[in-house]
Amino acid sequence: MFAVLTTMMPKATACLQAVIEDESYLWHCRFGHMSFKGLRTLQSKRMVNGLPSGMLSPAACAQVCTTCLIGKQHRESIPKKSLWRVSQKLELVHTDICGPINPTSNSNKKYFLSFIDDFS
């Protein structure tokens, strides 16, 4: 449910031992990637039971969350006019499948496939 950054520490008595690298980042992930300013507000108003005090210092909140960066990326707009055009028939064919449709066809088919030639 939550992404947790861990470090594997070899130990003779245990085969696996996980250690959380940054507790402020863990709480950032637990609250759906809430901003660190929002987490500080929750902490100062004591709105969350178990939220440790003092862990959200400005230095701890300076790290960059790659998941948040990916979520905030903008994509290029789709151009209104294509830079490339087909020059002959069947050079570019668009296809789509549709279904299941109701009622079925006379031969009890529930799907159909369409082909559109970009030249026409």
* Model pLDDT for residues 78-116, shown as the tens digit of each residue: 788 878 889 999 999 999 999 898 888 889 999 999 999
Does a structural domain hold residue 109?
yes
- Chain CA centroid to CA 69, Å: 10
> What percentage of the chain has pLDDT greater than the value 90?
17
Q: The domain containing residue 42 runs over which residues?
A: 6-71
Does a structural domain hold residue 1?
no
Q: Based on the structure, what is the number of domains in the chain?
A: 2
55/106 same-domain check: no
Does a structural domain hold residue 77?
no
Q: What angle do CA 26, 31, 32 make, to 5 degrees?
A: 100
55/107 same-domain check: no
Query: Is the pLDDT score of 57 beyond 50?
Result: yes
What is the Cα–Cα distance from 98 to 93, expressed in whole angstroms? 16
Which of 33, 50, 71 corresponds to the end of one domain?
A: 71
Residue position matching structure tokens 């709105």: 47
